[in-house]
Amino acid sequence: MTSGGKAQPAEYHPMIRDLPPGERPRERLRDRGAAYLSNAELLAIVLRTGSSTESVLNLAGRLLAQFHGLEGLAAASYPELCGVRGLGDAKASQLKAALELGRRLVTLQAEARVTITCPQDVANLLSAEMGLLENEHLRVVLLDTKNHVVGTPEVYRGSVNSTTVRVAEVFREAVRHNCPAIIAVHNHPSGDPAPSPEDVQVTRQLIDGGKALDITLLDHVIIGRQQFASLKEKGLAFS
């Protein structure tokens, strides 16, 4: 209400149908290609509709602002998305599915082309997938004789320490695929990849186990939020 008691006009959000055809996201994608669209426009296509009081473009922009961009949106839980005004089960499911497909495509493309030459290669391969996880996960990068990636199977979910990690489980897929070398990779949900004493102890355990199986543990890489740490580069556990 204004000081004179008159109601303020409601904020106007033009609907997609009100936009000129050349400014509508679907038509722009069709005519120019997806690369020309903004993140908000791409999200608007995934969401399809807004509400009676808000356009889908405005909803998409509000989501990006609320979660601080695509990375935050990808890390958001299903209940968090459902709690956003204008989203429900259907739209939250559409978002999670689209973001997961993008994540899987990045992983597949990375695995198809990667030869591991340094810890940065490992981080490039798995950071997008593991850097946003809320719990610790341990994966193994399986390598052939030329250090090409054969696979990145998950071994553990939960605390990665010497009391839970079994050497046989870590090397199982390497034995199965006849891989001469592996790299252990796990994440720190805190975002800080600094190795803990338990991480060093697990690494020593895996080095010894690999020697018994004639499989080399080349490194143990810890993934944080947009950071990583290599125990081998830090001279921890590796002599």
pTM over 0.75, yes/no: no
Low-confidence ranges of the chain (pLDDT < 50): 1-3, 9-13
Question: Which pair of structure tokens corresponds to residue 235?
Answer: 């001279």
Domain assignment of residue 7, yes or no:
no
- Residue 65 and residue 127 in one domain: no
Domain closes at, from 105, 129, 152: 105
Question: Which pair of structure tokens corresponds to residue 143?
Answer: 């390598």
Of 153, 155, 149, the C-alpha closest to 121 is 149
Domain closes at, from 105, 134, 168: 105
Domain housing 141: 114-230
CATH number, position 164: 3.40.140.10
Phi, psi of 16 (to 5 degrees): -55, -40
Strand segments (E) across the chain: 137-143, 149-151, 154-157, 181-187, 216-223, 228-230
Q: For residue range 164-212, what is the model confidence (pLDDT) as tens digits?
A: 788 999 999 999 999 999 999 999 999 999 999 999 999 999 999 999 9
Burial grade of 85 (CB within 10 A; 0-12, 13-18, 19 or more): exposed
Question: Which pair of structure tokens corresponds to residue 77?
Answer: 């839980």
- Residue 128 and residue 223 in one domain: yes
Q: For residue range 67-82, what is the model confidence (pLDDT) as tens digits?
A: 988 888 988 899 999 9
Bridge partners for 138 per DSSP: 156, 186
- The tally of domains found in the chain comes to 2
Domain assignment of residue 2, yes or no:
no
